[in-house]
Amino acid sequence: MEKQLPADRLWTIEETSYFLGVPVATLYHWRWRGEGPQACKIGRHVRYRPEDVHAWVAGNRGRVA
């Protein structure tokens, strides 16, 4: 069963990890390197806007690593 992610609030790093299918550690690494979807820091928490994550995915279509 697929998990429904909320569209009306910021995603946690775990929710973003689930959506992208990558480990949480990868998101932290991308953030450290200035790569990956744009994130914001709220206090000590990293959050992602769903529309930024979707835009990042759309902008990386067909890109080969």
Overall number of domains in the chain: 1
Burial, 65: exposed, middle or buried (Cβ in 10 Å; 0-12, 13-18, 19+)? exposed
Tokens of 58: 């759309």
Burial, 36: exposed, middle or buried (Cβ in 10 Å; 0-12, 13-18, 19+)? buried
**Structural domain that includes position 39:** 11-59
DSSP designation for 38: -
Per-residue pLDDT, 1? 56
The per-residue pLDDT for range 3-46, each reduced to its tens digit, is 788 888 999 999 999 999 999 999 999 999 999 999 999 999 99
| 2 located within any domain | no
| 39 located within any domain | yes
Per-residue pLDDT, 27? 97
Question: Nearest CA to 31 among 56, 61, 9, 54?
Answer: 56
| 17 located within any domain | yes
Task: Check residues 60 and 12 and name the one with the higher pLDDT.
Answer: 12
| 32 located within any domain | yes
| 22 located within any domain | yes
| 33 located within any domain | yes
User: In one letter, which amino acid is 2?
Assistant: E
